[in-house]
């Protein structure tokens, strides 16, 4: 999944937080909806600007960031 097609950060939108392109919905916000028990159907009903690919991109972005953070912290400890 190439999340770069769906996720971007712009200092003019939500102070530069990564968002789904074409929306003001941050990756952090969408992940928090899932963490609070929302399912995909509820998210789509409430935020029609999202689709299955954009949700996959949110998770791919988060996964990549976690990997990068782990690698960075590992390298700085060595």
Q: Confirm if 26 and 19 have CB atoms less than 8 A apart.
A: yes
Query: pTM for this one?
Result: 0.86
- How many CB atoms are closer than 10 A to CB 11? 8
Provide mean pLDDT across the span 32-45. 98
With a cut of 80, say whether residue 22 has pLDDT above it. Answer: yes
């Amino acid at each position: 999944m190439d999340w770069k097609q769906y996720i971007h950060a712009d200092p003019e939108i939500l102070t530069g937080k990564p968002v789904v392109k074409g929306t003001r919905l941050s990756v952090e916000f969408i992940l928090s909806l899932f963490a609070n028990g929302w399912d995909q159907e509820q998210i789509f009903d409430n935020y029609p600007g999202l689709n299955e690919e954009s949700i996959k991109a949110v998770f791919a972005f988060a996964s990549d960031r976690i990997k990068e953070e782990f690698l960075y912290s590992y390298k700085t400890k060595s």
